[in-house]
Structure 1
Amino acid sequence: MVKREAAMEQYWHWFCAQLFSDPGLERRLLDRFGTPETIFKVKEEELLKSFPGNQGRLSALCAGRKKWDFSRETERLARLDIQFVSICHPDYPARLKRIGDAPCGLFYRGLLPSDALPSVAVVGARSCSAYGRNVCLWFAEELAARNVQIISGMARGIDGISHRGALAAGGRTFGILAGGVDRCYPEENRDIYMELEKKGGLLSESPPGIRPFTYLFPLRNRILSGLADAVLIIEAKEKSGTLITADYALEQGREVYAVPGPLGEPLSAGCHNLIRQGAGLAVSPERLLEDLMILPGFNMKNMQKNKITLERSENLVYSCLRLQAQNLGEICQKTELSPEEALSVLAKLQLKGYAREVSKNYYAAVRPQGQT
């Protein structure tokens, strides 16, 4: 069984190394043929016939598989100290797996983000102000000190600063790269790159050797938000590329928070627009932790222990609640329960001290005792 799983991972490695820049084609091929192994073995004529609009790409794929040496490529990863995990492997990050366009595989150095710990993606302006720098350090250090994993893109400005803040607090932080994880970009952040290998991780959808081409960054951004429970935006111009990550986060059902900035400053415009459109207002790390239900003194063991006491339906509803009240319709939409079912579960949660009715059909989460 172990040998079979290892063999399947090798086919996934081949598949992802060839098609990393075209997730849509990856999905269509898998929908048609089922597994990378089948795709590797299917006749070229059948492959081309199945997708007449992708003749060039698929011809190159077929030519490449003739040259692919599984042992050599596995040894190459080992030599570069790079690991690979497919979407079918149990180690693949659970948060990321749940998004609609999750990458079929990840190449990484160091660790993968833990599913047992909360995580926040921090992104923002490359040319940040002194205000942005100070705010970013404040949030990153405080969140990391509370066992919140910091996810960012290792770029200049806010990204790099968030990694530095998390490292300074002794926390876990992960850099999501557009190019291969064997390529440090930008070079000025090499010290962060080296630290992330030891005290967190470097992850990419791109195989080793791939340069960080411009078109890969938007693809990278969906992974950034997909690995996080929430996305925090610190400084962004009105048409900043940072807002792509915010868009992905909203599509993925993630919470989006923005730090307000000085009025009239171009670097504040993007965040102020997000807040006007309904993003959470991030005024302090403590408030953000409260909104995410990660309070000072947060203890993961206590949280897991308390959650075990809930029935499956109660856990489902409780996971959708926030400290800010939500109406019954929103809860039903998130849980796909009928109003009658949701009300029944909410009544049980209130009796157990996990929820409260703020006003007619508006419910908020309550932190159980032991999670203060």
Structure 2
Amino acid sequence: MQATDPRPTPDQHATPIADWLRLEQAAGVGRRSVHALLAVFGTPGAILRAGPQALGAHVTPAQARAICAPVTPALAALIDATLAWLAAPDHHLVTCHDPRYPPALAEIPDPPLLLYVSGRVELLAQPMVAVVGSRNASVQGRVDAESFAAALSGAGLCVVSGLALGIDTAAHEGALRGIGSTIAVVGTGLDRVYPARNRELAHRIAAQGCIVSEYPLGMPPLAANFPRRNRIISGLAAGVLVIEAAAQSGSLITAQLAAEQGREVFALPGSIHSALTKGCHRLIREGAQLVETVDDVLMAMRVSPLAGLPQVDAAAPASDDDAILLDALGHEPVALDELLARLALDPGMLGARLLELELAGVVTRLPGGRVQRIWR
């Protein structure tokens, strides 16, 4: 018969990590209340030991009772799952008392209590710039986001974005090419990837950069989570660059939060005819810095532009005829019929030349039979 180990088993529901999770999950107790209690009592453990009467001098009676409530089965399961998650390599729980907690984030009005981090936690100490924009980005917008992010990362800035489709995805892709790498701030628990189409990208970010969330494991992609996580994107960064944003865009929330937090706000202008640039033009009217080159961002953030930054250039036209065609395309999407009228070409010949330029990455086809030149 196997002997029973006489040593007591540690209660993992009474550890410092469990204390933080109990405070985070206390019903009806917001982050501001917990921060206020931490300022008085010092640690989560001291708060939990204080009792309802002592806590009642600083929070409502209902909040005091919620904080002192015993651990429920659901909370115990969350604590167990979190401790198991933390046992995996490169998984971290950074509390607001942790020296790794980003100082800039601690200065915002409503800083997270906890940051769940998957990947290179040391990136939280690096200088950062956020790149955000439309989920329904144009081809040109995605090209701009990727090339700007690559250059910013190449200059040593860590690029922060939100892992959404469109501009965020392009920004992460570009930033992974540089030494600054990238941080994705998400609106779910880190045991989930949203959107699912970015699963492979999320894995690469976790390996080469890091993914950050204030939400506990198991948190689904609730609509209300994403506007709230935007304050973390802007709070981490010294500046926010907006590339393509409609008039009612979530990116404008991030830009507004950045301005309120004292961060620099940059906006890339675009066509007056495009709905995707209305938000950027509004930001510029309201005082955001108009950006034409990466150097505009680097100089405003007091980062020296680096000579020889890698640039992604459009393929050179193969002939004078191609140069004429590209010039006729201009800066805006154009219907094939209109392009034929501008050039007086045979439709078959125009189609063949457009295909060659499309394969070279210089032209893209859009819905509705339109084509557009890609500027890099």
Residue deviations 1:35-58, cap 9 Å, x none? 311222233465467533x73x66
Distance in 2 (alpha carbons) for counterparts of 1:13 and 1:109: 18
Residue 184 (structure 1) shift: 0.4
Q: Is the 8 A contact 1:19 1:26 kept in 2?
A: no
Distance in 2 (alpha carbons) for counterparts of 1:250 and 1:99: 11
Equivalent residue number for residue 174 of structure 1: 183
Does residue 23 of structure 1 match 2:36? no
1:77-88 matches, cutoff 5 A = 77-79=85-87, 81=89, 82-88=91-97
Equivalent residue number for residue 155 of structure 1: 164
Does residue 282 of structure 1 match 2:288? no
Q: Is the 8 A contact 2:105 2:235 kept in 1?
A: yes
Does residue 38 of structure 1 match 2:46? yes
Q: Is the 8 A contact 1:111 1:200 kept in 2?
A: yes
Equivalent residue number for residue 326 of structure 1: none
Max radius of gyration: which structure?
2
Question: SS at the partner of 1:133?
Answer: helix
Does residue 218 of structure 1 match 2:218? no
1:1-372 matches, cutoff 5 A = 8-18=16-26, 22-31=30-39, 33-44=41-52, 47=55, 51-52=59-60, 55=62, 59-63=65-69, 65=71, 72=80, 75-79=83-87, 81=89, 82-112=91-121, 114=123, 117-169=126-178, 171-297=180-306
CA RMSD between the two structures: 2.8
Residue 206 (structure 1) shift: 0.7
Output the TM-score relative to the length of structure 1: 0.71
Question: SS at the partner of 2:32?
Answer: helix
Structure 2 counterpart of 1:243, one-letter code: L
Q: Is the 8 A contact 1:20 1:205 kept in 2?
A: no
Distance in 1 (alpha carbons) for counterparts of 2:79 and 2:230: 32
Distance in 1 (alpha carbons) for counterparts of 2:41 and 2:168: 39
Question: SS at the partner of 1:206?
Answer: coil
Structure 2: tracts of 5 or more residues without a match: 1-13, 308-376
1:35/1:126 Cα in 2 relative to 1: closer, same or farther (>3 Å)?
Answer: same
% identical equivalent positions: 36
Question: SS at the partner of 1:127?
Answer: coil
Structure 1 counterpart of 2:261, one-letter code: Q
Q: Is the 8 A contact 2:123 2:209 kept in 1?
A: no
Distance in 2 (alpha carbons) for counterparts of 1:237 and 1:21: 35
Output the TM-score relative to the length of structure 2: 0.70
Q: Is the 8 A contact 2:130 2:239 kept in 1?
A: yes
Q: Is the 8 A contact 1:260 1:281 kept in 2?
A: yes
4+ long deviations beyond 6 Å: none
Structure 2 counterpart of 1:181, one-letter code: L
Structure 1 counterpart of 2:19, one-letter code: Y
Residue deviations 1:172-211, cap 9 Å, x none? 1010011111110000001111001110101111111111
Equivalent residue number for residue 313 of structure 1: none
More helix by share: 1
Distance in 1 (alpha carbons) for counterparts of 2:95 and 2:208: 23
Q: Is the 8 A contact 1:232 1:257 kept in 2?
A: yes
Aligned residues between the structures = 291
Structure 2 counterpart of 1:65, one-letter code: V
